[in-house]
């Protein structure tokens, strides 16, 4: 389902906005801040019907946007969804509350590999939402020769000039560039970051857009022929355009888990806990996976998954594939990322 269709389908069930919440005083409300095109309307309808709690959804396009909004006292959200490599940052800055996730009803449904993850060892703050990998997609109609290497994305063929899409998050772009260059993530070495900067600046003339919003649409419509992409978004684009193919590069991929957390100062913390427990039920986790086309952390959700997901080429990740789950970067590394990103965008 493309983004336009999603918004039309969601209208009846959700109140969607981009700014601060204006009606956050509603006693029975739940205010969610999630990535764009990442919340199943059916899931929200079911939660509202079962609980009587009215849901309002706002969306963002990058971890950096989420972080900036959460630092604003006017944010007013009860639930946020954040990447694994940002959890530690949010904890250190006091932006999310302890929820003692292991005590939530349904916690035992989480697969052992996703309990006590590196970013939340004691399950104090988060529960899993969905997980996936980042690499790139290629439109096989226009690019007949595909190279199973990140070189194709970062040094694209001449015919792809102006037809390359990159995500809009500096952490996403730079971490993938570091992987391609054989560097550990979160670089603080100035010489290495200079290499990253040079790589991205050399790629820039071929790039049509740096933007996370609309990535599914751009792949589906062939607006871009090469795109930095998540495996699940590529699966959704392929459903619209069979020429779209996700590439598992020889160098490996970056891995991530999106996590559900309760912001510090949430106005409806009990409603937030009810929503987290709702997400920990297998049939509800499947609703999220069926919509996003990403794997969830609940093995018991399998019988409720669409048949197409079980055979999806994007979700059947090769067993020997190198997957790098990026840690939370130090302040020094973040400053260097920002410097590279500012130079690239200007």
pLDDT of residue 5: 34
Residues with Cβ < 8 Å from 63, sequence gap 6 or more?
A: 82, 83, 85, 86, 169, 171
pLDDT of residue 73: 64
Average pLDDT over residues 300-307: 96
pLDDT of residue 62: 86
Q: Is the pLDDT of residue 178 over 60?
A: yes
Spatial separation of the C-alpha atoms in residues 201 and 207, rounded to whole Å: 10
Q: Name the segment(s) of the chain with CATH classification 3.40.190.10.
A: 3-131+257-310, 132-255+316-345
Residues with Cβ < 8 Å from 126, sequence gap 6 or more?
A: 82, 87, 96, 99, 101, 119, 120, 259, 260, 261
Spatial separation of the C-alpha atoms in residues 87 and 262, rounded to whole Å: 12
Q: Is the pLDDT of residue 18 over 60?
A: no
Residue 328 DSSP symbol: P
Q: Which of 60-64, 120-124, 130-134, 330-334 has the lowest mean pLDDT?
A: 60-64
Spatial separation of the C-alpha atoms in residues 315 and 313, rounded to whole Å: 6
**Measuring CA to CA, which residue among 101, 97, 19 is closest to residue 65?**
19
DSSP letters, 116-184, are S-TTSTT-SS-EEEEEEEEEEEEETTT-----SSTHHHHS--GGGTT-EEE-S-HHHHHHHHHHHTTPP
pLDDT of residue 333: 96
Q: What are phi and psi of 250, to 5 degrees?
A: -60, -35
Overall fold of domain 132-255+316-345: D-Maltodextrin-Binding Protein; domain 2 (3.40.190)
Average pLDDT over residues 51-64: 93
**Measuring CA to CA, which residue among 35, 61, 38 is closest to residue 168?**
61
Q: What are phi and psi of 236, to 5 degrees?
A: -70, -35
pLDDT of residue 27: 62
At 221-272, the pLDDT tens digits run 999 999 999 999 999 999 999 999 999 999 999 999 999 999 998 999 999 9
At 237-248, the pLDDT tens digits run 999 999 999 999
Q: Which two tokens stand for residue 326?
A: 């990026």
Q: Is the pLDDT of residue 17 over 50?
A: no
pTM: 0.83
Q: What are phi and psi of 53, to 5 degrees?
A: -90, 125
- CATH 3.40.190.10 for domain 3-131+257-310, yes or no, is yes
Based on its alpha-carbon atoms, the radius of gyration of the chain, rounded to whole angstroms, reads: 20
Burial class (CB in 10 A: 0-12, 13-18, 19+), 9: middle
Q: Answer with the residue of higher pLDDT: 250 or 16.
A: 250
Q: Which two tokens stand for residue 243?
A: 């020429």
């Amino acid at each position: 389902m493309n983004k336009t269709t999603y918004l039309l389908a969601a209208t009846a069930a959700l109140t969607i906005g981009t700014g601060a919440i204006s009606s956050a005083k509603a006693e029975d409300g739940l205010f969610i801040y999630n990535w764009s095109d990442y919340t199943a309307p059916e899931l929200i309808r079911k939660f509202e019907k079962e609980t009587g709690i009215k849901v309002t959804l706002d969306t963002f396009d990058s971890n950096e946007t989420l972080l900036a909004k959460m630092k604003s006292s006017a944010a007013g959200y009860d639930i946020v969804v954040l990447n694994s490599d940002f959890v530690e940052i949010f904890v250190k800055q006091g932006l999310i509350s302890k929820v003692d996730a292991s005590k939530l009803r349904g916690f035992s449904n989480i697969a052992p590999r996703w309990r006590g993850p590196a970013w939340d060892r004691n399950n104090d703050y988060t529960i899993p939402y969905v997980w996936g990998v980042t690499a790139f997609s290629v439109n096989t109609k226009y690019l007949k020769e595909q190279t199973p290497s990140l070189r194709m994305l970062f040094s694209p063929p001449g015919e792809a000039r102006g037809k390359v899409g990159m995500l809009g998050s500096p952490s996403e772009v730079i971490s993938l560039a570091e992987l391609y260059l054989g560097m550990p993530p979160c670089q603080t070495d100035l010489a290495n970051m200079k290499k990253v900067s040079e790589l991205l600046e050399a790629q820039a003339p071929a790039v049509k857009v740096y933007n996370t919003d609309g990535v599914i649409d751009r792949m589906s419509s062939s607006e871009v022929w090469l795109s930095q992409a998540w495996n699940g978004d590529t699966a959704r684009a392929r459903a619209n355009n069979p020429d779209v193919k996700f590439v598992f590069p020889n160098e490996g991929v970056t891995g991530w888990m999106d996590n559900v957390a309760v912001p510090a100062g949430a106005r409806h913390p009990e409603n937030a806990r009810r929503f987290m427990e709702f997400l920990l039920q297998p049939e509800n986790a499947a609703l999220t996976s069926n919509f996003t086309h990403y794997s969830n952390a609940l093995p018991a959700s399998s019988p409720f998954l669409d048949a197409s997901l079980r055979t999806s080429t994007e979700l059947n990740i090769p067993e020997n594939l190198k997957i790098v789950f990026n840690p939370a970067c130090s302040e020094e590394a973040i400053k260097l990322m920002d410097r590279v990103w500012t130079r690239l965008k200007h």
